[in-house]
Amino acid sequence: MQIWNETIECQDRDELGQLQLERLQSTLNRAYKNVTFYHNCLGEACMDPASVRSLDDLRRLPLTSREDLGKNYPYGLFAVPLRDIVRIHTATGTGSSPTVSGYTNTDLAMWTEMVARSLTAAGVGVDDIIQVCFDPGLANWARDFKRGAEAIQASVIPMTPLELPKQVMVMNDYKTSVLVTTPSYARQLVREMDRMSINPNSLSLRRAVLLGESMSEKSRGSLEVALPVQIQTAYGLSEVPGPGIAYECRERQGLHLNEDHFIAEIIDPQTTDPLAAGETGELVLTTLTAKAFPLIRFRTGDLASLSAERCSCNRSFTRLHPIQGRADQLVVIRGIKLHPQLIHTIMSRLCQGKIPAYVGFVGHLEDLDLLEIWMRLDEACFSDEIKVLEHLVHTVRRELEQSLGIPARVRLVEPGTMEDYSDRLGQIIDERANG
């Protein structure tokens, strides 16, 4: 069994806990000193870094939400001077302000280490040729995988803005052995191979690492047959930011959480009370080594469960079991997180505050994730002139695509069309689980 950093990944649990505590105390001190938001949060809770003497004390600290990230736009949560930042990452927020996170050179080196672990755990090595294919919204992750692949001395084809036929051509001509992408993009590649009359069995492809979206076991199985490859999954967050939070080994018994860099908790999303090991709830993460952008008890919105039993691969890290949905209304489209509030903000601006009744749908179009917005025709909001209506549809679609970075469709519908969705107006309905 290949292990990139056996000393850490197979470390005794007691030793790992001591390392986590030391790094937690260091993180809290840095955040308390340099980040006004965290200084105030701890003060309001009548706490300071010295109050945390054990890992259990972490639960006494306030939670951090995506709304908090938006309120501190752009640099309010940075714990180092801007001169120390070498990469800035922007992601869509839940409101009008995006979330901004940053890396120092030290942060980048740590992310490289974590990606190297995930690739090694997937069975990738020095003899592999890795092709990284992500939508532009995950360009940062593509860079991280490039650095991680180089660290394990594999050959890497970094992400380039190639159309699907050329990606397939590169996969065939360059003898790609490992594909790193999202589940939806992998499905697009399969469809393109069929269109080009290329038999996947004729390729050199043997493994795929998929992340950025949730994927059912049924979907994994169908992709493994279609490509055919062995698939490992990984977990990352754009807010942390990076793809190396947790990774699946070849035993596929859950995703190994990089516990030397993160502490994970599971809470009840309604009460925020902690849940016991094995129970499903909202995943909360605390960074332990992030220099530029520390996050303390960050609510991910993802539903998951944890288990601490040692994996048969001999890694001792806590395992994150497959993400089972969202605790909030946020959906992920092509790796991009979208909250209904952002659509509401766009609608309010374009319709001069007279927001029409609308509902959003996320589904597949030719294996491609697509956002579609239905807007109800309303005399209070819309003109009956065709040109005016066409301009409105075009403007809303353009604004959605520019703000979100994902393709969108906009439809004007008659009032009776949306009766079945009267209790879900202003929400986004994810239909992908229905096939």
1-326 has CATH 3.40.718.10 classification:
no
Domain 339-434: give its CATH superfamily: ANL, C-terminal domain (3.30.300.30)
pLDDT at 368: 65
Find the mean pLDDT for residues 17-28.
98
Residue 1 has pLDDT above 80, yes or no: no
pLDDT at 425: 81
Domain spans of the chain, in order of start: 1-326, 339-434
With cut-offs at 50, 70 and 90, classify the pLDDT of residue 179: very high
Mark out the alpha helices in 152-281 (DSSP H runs): 164-173, 183-195, 217-226
Q: Name the amino acid, one letter, at 218.
A: K
Give the Cα separation of 214 and 167 in Å (integer).
23
The percent of residues in the chain predicted with pLDDT above 90, rounded, is: 59
pLDDT at 49: 96
CA 257, 121, 143, 366 torsion: positive or negative?
Answer: negative
With cut-offs at 50, 70 and 90, classify the pLDDT of residue 329: low
With cut-offs at 50, 70 and 90, classify the pLDDT of residue 69: very high
Residue 18 has pLDDT above 70, yes or no: yes
Give the Cα separation of 405 and 137 in Å (integer).
7
Find the mean pLDDT for residues 227-235.
95
Q: What is the pLDDT of residues 250-275, one digit of tens each?
A: 999 999 999 999 999 999 998 999 99
Give the Cα separation of 70 and 100 in Å (integer).
8
Q: How many CB atoms lie within 10 A of CB 390?
A: 11
pLDDT at 27: 97
Q: What is the pLDDT of residues 357-400, one digit of tens each?
A: 888 888 766 566 778 888 887 654 555 566 767 777 888 888 87
Find the mean pLDDT for residues 192-219.
92
Of the two residues 63 and 407, the one the predictor is more confident about is: 63
pLDDT at 76: 96
pLDDT at 90: 84
Give the Cα separation of 218 and 147 in Å (integer).
31
In 3D space, the residue among 190, 157, 194 whose CA is nearest the CA of residue 175 turns out to be 157
In 3D space, the residue among 262, 272, 248 whose CA is nearest the CA of residue 55 turns out to be 262
Residue 128 has pLDDT above 80, yes or no: yes
Residue 217 has pLDDT above 60, yes or no: yes
Give the Cα separation of 363 and 156 in Å (integer).
32
Of the two residues 58 and 239, the one the predictor is more confident about is: 58
Residue 95 has pLDDT above 70, yes or no: no
Give the Cα separation of 42 and 8 in Å (integer).
31
pLDDT at 130: 97
pLDDT at 404: 72
From first CA to last CA, the distance across the chain in angstroms is: 35
pLDDT at 99: 85
Q: How far is CA 16 from CA 9, 27, 114, 318, in A?
A: 9, 16, 16, 11
Give the Cα separation of 309 and 215 in Å (integer).
24
Of the two residues 354 and 240, the one the predictor is more confident about is: 240
